[in-house]
Amino acid sequence: MRRIITTYTRWKLHLRPAHLPIIRNLDLPKLPSMVTVDLVFSDFLRYIKDQVQAYIIATYGDGKDIWETLSPSMYVVLTTPNGWEGSQQNRMRKAAIAAGLVDADGGRRVRFVTEAEACLILLVQQKSYLLQCVAGRRTICRR
């Protein structure tokens, strides 16, 4: 079966909390009427899951067994922009469940970290020098 792929840009911004100010001069394309941001996000996560699964199976001799053994109990960590709250996280968790990353009972294994925290954690783990700047709602990390 051939899958039709449609590209949407900046779709994650459709999840942003209403209380956050609109980014000045942002041209946020509307999604088609039959497409929700939740559907786009779950399709995106399903694609990521499929790619990780294919990589593990192709890379390791017993990759299929590894995936089948570990994936049912894996934790999924998703990043959110600073200022996002429980409502956005709940929608992202539901998208992860819809994508098959975790089952409905595994929703507790979907965790969240802000993009700034993720950057900091990565650089600390790499024992790198760090310059972190949150400027205009974008997090910039340099080593």
The 3 state secondary structure assigned to the chain is CCCCCCCCCCHHHHHCCCCCCCCCCCCCCCCCCCCCHHHHHHHHHHHHHHHHHHHHHHHCCCHHHHHHHHHHHCCEEEEECCCCCHHHHHHHHHHHHHCCCCCHHHHHHEEEEEHHHHHHHHHHHCCCCCEEEEECCEEEEEC
- For residue 134, the model assigns a pLDDT of 52
- For residue 68, the model assigns a pLDDT of 95
- For residue 21, the model assigns a pLDDT of 74
Assess contact for 129 and 143: CB atoms under 8 A.
Answer: yes
- For residue 27, the model assigns a pLDDT of 78
- For residue 98, the model assigns a pLDDT of 95
- For residue 4, the model assigns a pLDDT of 61
- For residue 2, the model assigns a pLDDT of 57
- For residue 15, the model assigns a pLDDT of 82
* Mean pLDDT, the chain cut into blocks of 10 residues (143 residues total): 66 78 76 86 91 94 94 90 87 94 91 84 71 54 59
